[in-house]
């Protein structure tokens, strides 16, 4: 129990620090968000109207006359109510609405490819470790290392050019065409059709880390004393591979999977930019380009909270699956 309480305490402390930094960092940026938004709405050469600037500040939740502490408590109160402010890029829509539209696209694309990559990479890595120094091991290891040296955005551009522009087999941009968004066969088929190219890039590059990590960890476990003892007792090779070596080698991968699931809430910025895919990654790039501080602040917080929650869940699972972790902190 002490192990789990410590993990929850670390989570809460880290969450408070992340929320506080997320409040402070945008306010260290040069420039006035209200002035930036005014020039965007009225034109870059428009003359600044102090009354309108103050009105914009009040509307954006940053009224004049409030010190940093008052703004901080207002910020915490807004977060507790789920109020994330208005987006400069998609004004007058609020940030929560904008993120809510993009979130399902990232969850489906990145989440699905991540889980497939984890399963495929873990199985290939485990089998390569069991058949180490064979031709299969060499092909998997060298092939993964070579593909890992290629930039993901370069592969995305290459696949887009070949299958989108030259062959014309798949769409080159967007998440869907003229079909009306909804839970109907036409829209779902259209969305899947548009996601094939970005999903292909993620499935090519995604399993590499899992393959190499699982292979190296399992090779270490195969040299442990308990594996030698199992062989000496005549335990079948399949049982040694699955129940002994692979089971223990899987523990670090579970932690990595949890962190990857949490960080996927940030989207795949480069991949989504290349294919103009309407997910959180493209939204983050737009927020950076347009200096949309409320949207960028919310996206960063969203990603941080996702990673922290995933890390907490991984710590809890680790404590359940490996009793040694609990005993080490008892």
**Domain ranges (residues) in the chain:** 98-328
On whether the CB atoms of residues 191 and 175 are closer than 8 A, the answer is yes
Percent of the residues in the chain that have a pLDDT greater than 90, as a whole number:
0
Q: Assess whether pLDDT exceeds 60 at residue 65.
A: no
Summarised one tens digit per residue, pLDDT across range 221-232 is: 777 777 777 777
**33-42 helix and 50-59 helix, angle to the nearest 10 degrees:** 110
Which of 106, 102, 126 has its CA nearest to residue 114? 106
Q: Is the pLDDT of residue 57 over 80?
A: no
For the CA atoms of the chain, what is the radius of gyration? 24
CATH number of 98-328: 1.10.3720.10
pLDDT band at 52 (very low <50, low <70, confident <90, very high): low
User: Can you say how many angstroms the Cα of residue 259 is from the centroid of all Cα atoms in its chain?
Assistant: 8
Task: List beta partners, residue 94.
Answer: 86
pLDDT band at 77 (very low <50, low <70, confident <90, very high): confident
329 has pLDDT over 60: no
Q: What is the mean pLDDT of residues 302-323?
A: 73
DSSP string, 3-68: HHHHHHHHHHHHHHHHHHHHHHHHHTSSS-HHHHHHHHHH-TTPPP-HHHHHHHHHHTT--TT--H
Which of the residue ranges 8-22, 40-54, 141-155 would you say has the lowest mean pLDDT? Answer: 40-54
The per-residue pLDDT for 42 is: 63
Instruction: Compute the average pLDDT of residues 33-44.
Output: 63
Angstrom distances, CA of residue 173 to CA of 37, 170, 281:
28, 9, 14
User: pTM surpassing 0.85?
Assistant: no
Residue with tokens 């932690």: 255
Distance CA 1, CA 6 (A): 9
The pLDDT value recorded for residue 314 is 72
């Amino acid at each position: 129990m002490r192990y789990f309480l410590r993990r929850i305490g670390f989570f809460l402390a880290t969450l408070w620090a992340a929320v506080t930094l997320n409040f402070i960092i945008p306010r260290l940026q040069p420039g006035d968000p209200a002035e930036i938004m005014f020039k965007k709405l009225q034109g870059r050469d428009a003359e600044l109207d102090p009354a309108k600037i103050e009105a914009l500040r009040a509307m954006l939740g940053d009224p004049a006359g409030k010190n940093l502490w008052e703004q901080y408590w207002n910020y915490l109160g807004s977060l507790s109510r789920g109020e994330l402010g208005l987006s400069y890029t998609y004004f007058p829509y609020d940030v929560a609405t904008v993120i809510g539209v993009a979130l399902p696209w990232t969850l489906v694309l990145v989440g699905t490819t991540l889980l497939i990559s984890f399963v495929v990479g873990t199985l290939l890595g485990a089998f390569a470790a069991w058949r180490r120094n064979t031709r299969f091991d060499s092909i998997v290891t060298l092939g993964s290392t070579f593909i890992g040296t290629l930039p993901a955005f370069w592969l995305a551009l290459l696949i887009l050019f070949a299958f989108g522009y030259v062959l014309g087999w798949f769409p080159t941009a967007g998440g869907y065409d003229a079909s009306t968004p909804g839970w109907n066969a036409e829209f779902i088929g259209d969305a899947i059709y548009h996601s094939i190219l970005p999903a292909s890039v993620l499935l090519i590059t995604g399993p590499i880390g899992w393959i190499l990590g699982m292979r190296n960890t399992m090779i270490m476990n195969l040299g442990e004393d308990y594996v030698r003892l199992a062989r000496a007792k005549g335990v079948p090779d399949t049982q040694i591979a699955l129940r002994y070596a692979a089971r223990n080698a899987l523990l670090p991968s579970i932690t990595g999977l949890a962190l990857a699931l949490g960080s996927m809430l940030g989207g795949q910025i480069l991949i989504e930019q290349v294919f103009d895919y309407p997910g959180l990654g493209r939204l983050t790039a737009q927020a950076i380009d347009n200096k949309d501080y409320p949207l960028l602040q919310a996206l960063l917080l969203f990603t941080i909270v996702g990673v922290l929650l995933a890390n907490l869940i991984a710590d809890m699972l680790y404590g359940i699956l490996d009793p040694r972790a609990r005993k080490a902190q008892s």
